[in-house]
Amino acid sequence: MSNTPLAHPFDKLTPDFILDAVEALGFYSDGRILTLNSYENRVYQIGIEEQQPVIAKFYRPERWTQEQILEEHEFTTELAEAELPVVAPLSLHSKTLFEYEGFYYALYPRKGGHAPELDDLDSLFTLGRFIGRIHAVGESRPYQFRPSLTVDSFGQESFEYLMEHAVPREYHLPYRTLAEDILKEVRKQWQAVGEVDYIRTHGDCHIGNILWRDDNPHFVDFDDSRMAPAVQDLWMLLSGERPQKITQLSEIIEGYEEFQTFPMKQLRLIEPLRTLRMFYHSAWLAKRWSDPAFQQAFPWFDSIRYWEEQILDLRSQFAELQEPALELLNV
């Protein structure tokens, strides 16, 4: 047996390990394993004898606590019980979270579908209706253990981590100067909105986490679910130039308000939230760089060119922050 240390904890997830973990819950695999697209965690489709395949999700060690994972499971289960199209974990013997040799993992039913067509206004209206229903459940009670999306947690802490661990020394001064100016503007705009209501949200509601099936969306991967302003689950669905975004947003909110009143003042948070995500995403890559999967998927991150482009992108985003907030049509 080799004594070579594992490059990363996920290296322990060999086919035999994965199948043993699934079979420990009473499923008998036919040996088929399909690796699904996921970077933060590891997700596999497992063939089951004489049954539909299941999806096995192995959580990244030390990212979430057991309490935080269970809160997400409880939220998605609440949504499923409210007949909302979310993919909730399977409950086995009244449990949804399991542990096998140091890994937390969960099983999910397999659901198919394709990406929604965000240039179709009817699809946007439908998305708005379902997000409104999700938020009606989300506001019923807060998370106790999962974090909140704030300027500090997404912006300031990400910026400080990048300066210490990732930004090349020759770019320290221009990056720091620009980032500090941007974060100052984000705080100013956030405070101008006044008191912001936080609710349980999907947290990462982009096209990759929505499957379109049977003329309806199915929301998957609540792994980044957290307390956040309601608009966090809307702004990532917008694309194109300002007139297009206004049309898209108007359609989404029209559907949303069939079930839930949307806090219109939060429209002023769209560009601040987009800005915070830019910092957070870069810090996410930096924190995961020891994972070989990240080095393969994002080889350009560890380059001077990446930081040159980041500075240009942040300057462009700083200009976007100076523009008037989006408004709805006919308002």
Catalytic residue among 16, 30, 221, 313: 221
Q: Does 221 belong to an annotated binding site? A: yes
> For residues 155 and 279, is the Cβ–Cβ distance under 8 A?
yes
Instruction: State phi, psi for 17 to the nearest 5 degrees.
Output: -60, -45
Q: Cα–chain-centroid distance for residue 203?
A: 5
Has 221 been annotated as catalytic?
yes
User: Other C-beta atoms within 10 Å of 114: how many?
Assistant: 9
- Catalytic residue from among 122, 204, 224, 291: 204
CA dist 317 and 306 (Å) reads: 16
The pair phi, psi for residue 44, each rounded to 5°, is -135, 145
Neighbouring residues of 179: CB distance < 8 A, sequence distance ≥ 6: 159, 279, 314
In the residue annotation, 291 being an active-site residue is answered as no
Nearest to 74 by CA among 55, 59, 58, 96: 96
8 Å CB contact between 265 and 189: no
Annotated binding site: 209, 221
Please identify every residue annotated as catalytic: 204, 221
Annotated binding site for Mg(2+): 209, 221
